[in-house]
Chain A
Amino acid sequence: DTAVSQTPKYLVTQMGNDKSIKCEQNLGHDTMYWYKQDSKKFLKIMFSYNNKELIINETVPNRFSPKSPDKAHLNLHINSLELGDSAVYFCASSQSAGQGDNQPQHFGDGTRLSIL
C-alpha cells in the first residue's frame, strides 16, 4: 500500500548511458514532482506536473526529460548521463486545487543514481 513508489531504488550505470526512473502514486493526487538531492543532502525541485501538464521547470539540463502518461505516473528520463548527475532523485505528489495551493507533498523513498 505504498503511497509514492519509485523504481529502481538503486541505479548504477556508466557515463554516457541513457536511463529512466519511474514513479507512481496511489494517493489520487493530481500533481507530481521530481527533486534532486545532492551529496550534501541539498534538495532542489526539478519539475512539477499538474494533471499531466508541466507547471514547474527549474533550470535543469535538457538531458532530463520528464514524462507523465497519466496523473498517477511521472517518469524521469536522463540522456547522456554525466558524473554530476550522481544523486538521489525523489518523486513526490500532492493534491492541488489550483495554483498556489497549500496541500503538503508526499515523497517516495528515492532512487540513488551512481554514475561510474
Chain B
Amino acid sequence: AQSVTQPDIHITVSEGASLELRCNYSYGATPYLFWYVQSPGQGLQLLLKYFSGDTLVQGIKGFEAEFKRSQSSFNLRKPSVHWSDAAEYFCAVGAWGAQKLVFGQGTRLTINP
C-alpha cells in the first residue's frame, strides 16, 4: 500500500532563510505527488504537483520541489521564507491517479522574525 512519510513534525526557520521540507513516499507505480499548505483554520491549498516530465517543479508562492525516484523523495524548497509562510505543509501521493490522495503526517513550519 502507498504511504508518505514527512520525517519532520515541526521546523523553525528565521525569516529570509532557506527552507527544505522532506517527503518520502512508498508506491509501486509511477507516483503522482503533491504538496499542500494549510493555514490555521483554513482548508488545503495546492502548492505544486508532479505527474511526469521535468523532475524539478515550480509552484505558487515561490516554492519548488524535486522528484528523486532513486530516493523516493519529493522535497519542498523555498530560497527565502516569509513570515506568511508559517503553516502546516502536507505531502501527498496519488494512489489511483490523483483521485485517492494519501497524505503524510504534515510538517508545521514556524518562522522566527
Contact = CB atoms under 8 A, between A and B. Distances in A.
A100 interface: yes
Interface stretch (B16-24, B43-51, B75-83): B43-51
Given A40-B105, A41-B105, A104-B46, A109 B96 contact: no
B99 A109 contact: no
A56 interface: yes
Interface in B86-113: 88, 90, 94, 96-103, 105-106, 108
Nearest to B106: A41
Nearest to A4: B43
A23 B50 CA distance: 28
* Interface residue range, chain A: 20 to 34
A31 B97 CA distance: 13
A34 interface: no
Contacts, number: 67
Interface in A7-25: none
Contacts of A62: none
B97 A99 contact: yes
A31 B99 contact: yes
Given A56-B99, A99-B96, A106 B46 contact: yes
Nearest to B50: A102
Contact of B98 (A4, A40, A50, A101): A101
Contact of B99 (A43, A44, A48, A90): A48
Given A102-B32, A102-B98, A104-B49, 18 more contacts: A31-B99, A40-B105, A41-B88, A41-B105, A41-B106, A42-B105, A42-B106, A43-B44, A43-B90, A43-B103, A94-B99, A96-B97, A99-B97, A99-B99, A104-B46, A104-B98, A105-B98, A107-B44
Interface of B: 32, 34, 36, 41-46, 49, 51, 88, 90, 94, 96-103, 105-106, 108
